[in-house]
Amino acid sequence: MTSMLDQTVLNWAFTLIGAGGGWWMKTMWEALKDLQLADKALVDKVAGIDTLVAGQYVRRDYFETKMTALSDGIFRKLDRIEDKLDDKADKPHT
């Protein structure tokens, strides 16, 4: 009789351990799926930012054209200032 009781206790122990292990594995599986979904959402978001940033760069030819025009204007102004200073330096001091 004790052998049958021992077997029943052992069967119940394995059942409880199996149920607990199954519950734990299901919980881990769901957590893994949630993490995979969150990872996919982050990858999509980063890809969108990458596209947004890459689309807003200034093109090299446009930049060079604008900088050339700007530097020409600055140098013209500096030349005018230099001419005015030269005229001012040529005046005799009284």
User: In terms of residue numbers, what domain contains 18?
Assistant: 1-40
Burial of 77 (0-12, 13-18, 19+ CB in 10 A): exposed
- Tens of pLDDT, residue by residue over 7-43, are 999 999 999 999 999 999 999 999 999 999 999 999 9
What is this structure's pTM? 0.46
- Please give the distance of CA 1 from its chain centroid, rounded to a whole number: 68
Note whether residue 50 is domain-resident. no
Domain assignment of residue 7, yes or no: yes
**Cα 80 to Cα 70: distance, rounded to the nearest angstrom:** 16
The CA distance from 71 to 18, in Å, is: 78
Least confident stretch, 10-19, 39-48, 55-64, 74-83: 55-64
How many independent structural domains does the chain possess? Answer: 1
